[in-house]
Amino acid sequence: MNDATEDARTSPDGLLTDAIEMFCAAGILIQFNRNRHGPLAADIHLSQPIYYLLGHSIEVALKAFLLHSGESLENLKGKYGHDLSKAAYNVISRRSNPVSMIVENNLSIIKLLNPYYSAKEFEYRITGFKRLPRSENLMSFLSNILPAINELLPPRRYKRIIKKIFRDDFSFLISSPPRSRSGDD
């Protein structure tokens, strides 16, 4: 696929959709971590995939805003790469919108996550101490930034469920599986 085709197929709406889906997936894993039981409960820790999903959600959300604001896809890939801080500073520099204020108010947690996320340490495990923001703080940031970006974009199919997704308790992310009618439970 050539760059022109890729540029035409990448939109702020598509990037925001990806950010929302990664946010939801991270929320599901966070809930799983909190509610795990059984013989493997003490052995399974999902912090790496949770932080990867949260970082990637932040990355594509910021890039959705920047693409909507006129940045080229080439710049998003080349100039910013996976550097959350660079993208955040660019968003903040566009001061005339609520998105910039939300990012500025959460810059400290973005900067705390960035060295590990941009170095891909959540994808390719590097052992040792990491000073990370609390996942709940990143979820809170995303629960504010994603609807704010959504409001800037044209109406979209997710409009009806956006409010459900960003409730404070995130309990909608986990639902009980339907009970079997055969009595095989």
Give residue 185's pLDDT: 37
Helix H or strand E encompassing 90: helix 84-93
Handedness of CA 81, 107, 168, 29 (dihedral sign): positive
Is residue 91 scored above 90 in pLDDT? yes
Give residue 101's pLDDT: 96
d(CA 173, CA 30): 10
Chain mean pLDDT for the chain = 82
The amino acid at residue 169 is: D
Give residue 178's pLDDT: 39
Specify the pTM: 0.81
| pLDDT over 70, % of the chain | 75
CB-neighbour burial class of residue 87 (10 A; exposed 0-12, middle 13-18, buried 19+):
buried
37-41, 44-48, 51-55, 117-121: range with lowest mean pLDDT? 37-41
Residue 106 token pair: 């959460």
pLDDT 10s digits, 148-179: 998 888 776 555 556 556 554 554 443 333 33
What one-character DSSP code corresponds to residue 158? T
State the residue for tokens 């947690």: 109
d(CA 158, CA 18): 12
d(CA 175, CA 168): 16
